[in-house]
Amino acid sequence: MEIIETERTRHRRLREQGSLDGDDLHAILADGFVCHLGVVVDGCPMVVPTVYGLSPDREVVYFHGSVASRSLVASPETTVCLTVTHLDGLVLARSVFEHGVNYRCAMIYGVPRPVTDPEEKLAGLRCLTEHVTPGQWDYARQPSRKELAATALLALSTREASVKIRTGPPGDGDGPDARLGVWAGVRPLRMVRDELEPDPLLPDGIDIPPHLR
């Protein structure tokens, strides 16, 4: 799937870092857990962190929260901006001006659709749960009717998006600052899944399930 370029998503600066490749967008979404949802509520901007999940066809991002959430109540009625960012490295140059970061970032624009169909709501929540921890949906207790009623689920098309990716070393290696004798390079950064920490109230005899190993 190719990304639709609009006035909101057109790359005006650092165009060489921009991408219209749907695979780049989906890779960024697949590697993340938390998005930041930008929405205007009562005339004021609000940016809310929340977890998300990608539909199997990669056409929709699902995100959820309480039905009492002001941002979720407002967002079905207006355009939102959903952002996912990965920090991959600190770019340490010879001059402070040339310092930067290696990153992957996706900004998705659109008007979210409230998910009201019970089957789609369950499927969307499954996408969200499996995105964070594959195998957990079938292992843990699934939502009750009361819990589903208290949960707002929204679906946002991934078609209108802005993707930028920066990789590589500093950009001043072939300039005048190269003669300064200052070390330059990249300090890579990455997120890792650490060792599991059992709930202190977990009874003896409950082993870690295979999907968490």
Instruction: Report pLDDT for 172.
Output: 86
Q: How many CB atoms lie within 10 A of CB 127?
A: 21
Q: Please give the domain boundaries of the chain with CATH numbers for all domains.
A: 15-172+180-187 (2.30.110.10)
Instruction: Report pLDDT for 75.
Output: 59
Q: Which amino acid is at 6?
A: T
Token pair of 132 as six digits: 């964070």
Instruction: Report pLDDT for 74.
Output: 59
Instruction: Report pLDDT for 67.
Output: 52
Determine the Cα–Cα distance for residues 182 and 94; give it in Å rounded to an integer.
6
Mention every residue, 6+ apart, whose C-beta is less than 8 A from residue 127.
Answer: 53, 54, 55, 56, 62
Instruction: Report pLDDT for 40.
Output: 85
Instruction: Report pLDDT for 15.
Output: 67
Instruction: Report pLDDT for 100.
Output: 95
Residues of the chain with pLDDT under 70: 1-2, 15, 65-76
Contact 56, 127 (CB under 8 A): yes
pTM assigned to the model: 0.87
Angle at 13 between CA 8 and CA 18, to 5 degrees: 70
Instruction: Report pLDDT for 131.
Output: 94
